[in-house]
A and B are shown apart, each in its own frame.
Chain A
Amino acid sequence: MIWYIIVGVVVILIIAFVVTYNGLVRLRNQVKNAWAQIDVQLKRRHDLIPNLIETVKGYMKYERETLEAITKARNLAQQAASSGPAVRAKAETELSSALARLLAVVENYPDLKANQNFLALQEELTSTENKISFSRQYYNDSVLSYNNKTQMFPSNMVASMTGFKASEFFEVSVAGEREAPKVSFT
């Protein structure tokens, strides 16, 4: 009788271990996949920028600094592409705010606002910005549930035994992103 109980307990423990382990793997893959999504969208934005600058250049004679700032921010962001979330987030935030400045001054150029090519690019850019923030949102949600699982009892025991480590959030300094671009119409 006692042997049956021992065997039963062992079997239950093994099943619990397997289930927890599989859950951890699933969440880790979800985090990886979400990270890949962010990567795709960030690359897409980097690819859009030369096109944008080419289109805008002819119209914006007096915005050289703004355009240069974007090119510079883009190059920095591309260099940071192989680093971890924290470094990358910082470089991409710079790029975001440089782009926001450009789109804000577009208001002063009615010709540009009527350009079909520019309108299409603007839609792409807007959407890419949205996609970046949505993929970041999904990534952070995934990281949260993954980290919870690696740190909470009892799954943390399985996690530490099999080497699951907590992931890093992709955080953007709130002030930089949320701040609406200041435009003065004078």
Chain B
Amino acid sequence: MLLLVGYFLGLYFFGSGIGGLIIALVVWGVMSLFAFFQGDNILLALSRAKKISRDDHPRLYNVVEEMKIASGLEKMPDIYIIDDPALNAFATGRDPNRAAVAITSGLLQKLNRDELQGVIGHEISHIKNRDVLLMAITAVLLGTIVILAWYATRILFFSGMAGNRRSSSSGGGSGQIVILVLAIVLVVLAPIMAQLIYFAISRKREYLADASSALYTRYPEGLASALEKLAASTSQLKSANKATAPMYIINPFRKKGMSASDLTSTHPPISERIRILRSMAGGASFVDYDQAYRQVHKTSRRIVPASAMATGAIGLRAAGLEVTEKEPDEIQRARETSDLLWRRSDYKTITCDCGTKLRVPPGFKASSIRCPHCGRINPI
């Protein structure tokens, strides 16, 4: 598409398609190289994510490691946390060896272990399927087309008058007019088409990631109930923007009551994703997900590429390998997460004998601190 636009623009302006083609290629090359090498850093910096280690949050670290093992990923991805009450998570990294998963603190405290596993499974499968790279390239392509088309409309508009005089004096301009019309149509249509293609690809990869998550965890209900919690929350992620939207587990800009057949969304409707996951009665394989998809959509179109479906029947497992009631409840999880965030901002935490937690800011000079609750003096 981009090459076509470049070719016709070049054909019109330089008398040969090659010039435009080269310009399109160079622009595209520079942009994709930049996205390729810096994309993950930019994304993480934009979302103000903080990297955490195993000791900061053992459960999160363990869950990520479990999913890494289940997916057969070779290297452990970095784990980042975003201090935001909104519920979301994303994966990034240009190749599976340089990947990262990020999760908002809001989501971390909202989900139980099985749900967390489902969400992390979804993100890890974005890494495993190289979706990050695919979407980055698609996004750059889309952006380039939009930029080129925008410039082209301006150039066409301004050179229109000058070109008119020239072609009328020389007489035979009919061939040029055909090319001009073609170029205009392409310039107008290309960005729209590109956008739609981009959204379609993004939605398809989301379905695939859901299917992979179910396959890795053998427990689609975990992801389904996590998505349910995500759907119920209304707070929007502050640090997300349009360019980074497809990386998140749910669309950070979604509005309530989005219609099911929305062509202009990066993510399929959550209710539909939940319904598909819940209809996976037979097993956890791609074949089962595909069947559930067709059942929910009442179509015969496949959502998972046939080449990926060569595996045999795969059974589901029961909830939690451990007895689930021993898990930390939501209050405990909230405490865990806030402890982690304080620690990440270099605050010291001292537990007083009366049970009060004292947060000591990084610049604090004195050698002891008085507990405001019971009055004991605690050394730092």
Q: Which residues on A are within 8 Å of B, measured CB to CB?
A: 30, 34, 37, 41, 103-104, 106-107, 113, 120, 122-124, 126-127, 129-131, 133-135, 137-138, 141-142, 144-145, 148, 178, 180-181, 183
Contact = CB atoms under 8 A, between A and B. Distances in A.
Contacts of A137: 70, 218
Given A123-B58, A124-B58, A144-B312, A129 B322 contact: yes
Given A120-B58, A123-B62, A144-B312, A135 B69 contact: yes
Contacts of B218: 137
B66 A131 contact: yes
10 contacts: A37-B69, A113-B326, A124-B58, A127-B62, A131-B62, A131-B69, A137-B218, A141-B72, A181-B323, A183-B323
Contacts of B59: 123, 127
A135 to B, nearest CB: 5
Nearest to B62: A127
Contact of A180 (B65, B69, B318, B326): B318
A8 B201 CA distance: 39
A131 B371 CA distance: 42
B321 interface: yes
B230 to A, nearest CB: 23
Contacts of B326: 103, 106-107, 113, 122
Nearest to A126: B322
B216 interface: yes
A107 B323 CA distance: 10
B72 A103 contact: no
Closest 9 CB pairs of A and B: A127-B62, A134-B70, A134-B69, A126-B322, A130-B66, A135-B69, A138-B72, A134-B66, A131-B66
B321 A130 contact: yes
Interface of B: 58-59, 62-63, 65-67, 69-72, 113, 216, 218, 310-312, 317-318, 321-323, 326
A142 B72 contact: yes
A87 B326 CA distance: 32
Contacts of B58: 120, 123-124, 127
A134 B73 CA distance: 12
A140 B330 CA distance: 35
A184 to B, nearest CB: 13
B69 A103 contact: no
Given A123-B62, A134-B69, A129 B312 contact: no
Contact of B65 (A106, A127, A138, A183): A127
Contact of A131 (B65, B310, B317, B322): B65
A54 B312 CA distance: 43
Nearest to A129: B321
A166 to B, nearest CB: 15
A103 B318 contact: no
Nearest to B320: A126
Nearest to A130: B66
A178 B318 CA distance: 8
Nearest to A179: B318
A129 B310 CA distance: 28
A141 B65 contact: no
Contacts of B62: 123-124, 126-127, 130-131
A134 B63 CA distance: 11
A30 B74 CA distance: 11
Contacts of A127: 58-59, 62-63, 65-66
A131 to B, nearest CB: 5
Given A120-B58, A126-B322, A134-B216, A30 B66 contact: no
Contacts of B65: 127, 131
Nearest to B315: A174
A103 B322 contact: yes
Nearest to B217: A134
Contacts of B322: 103, 126, 129
A145 B311 CA distance: 8
Contact of B72 (A30, A123, A124, A181): A30
B74 to A, nearest CB: 8
Nearest to B61: A127
Given A34-B72, A103-B323, A129-B322, 20 more contacts: A37-B69, A41-B69, A104-B323, A113-B326, A123-B59, A124-B62, A126-B62, A126-B113, A126-B321, A131-B62, A131-B65, A131-B69, A133-B321, A134-B67, A135-B70, A142-B72, A144-B312, A148-B310, A180-B323, A183-B323
B36 to A, nearest CB: 26
Nearest to B216: A134
Contacts of A145: 310-311
Nearest to A137: B70
B323 A138 contact: no
Nearest to A148: B310
A173 to B, nearest CB: 14
Contacts of B310: 145, 148
A62 to B, nearest CB: 20
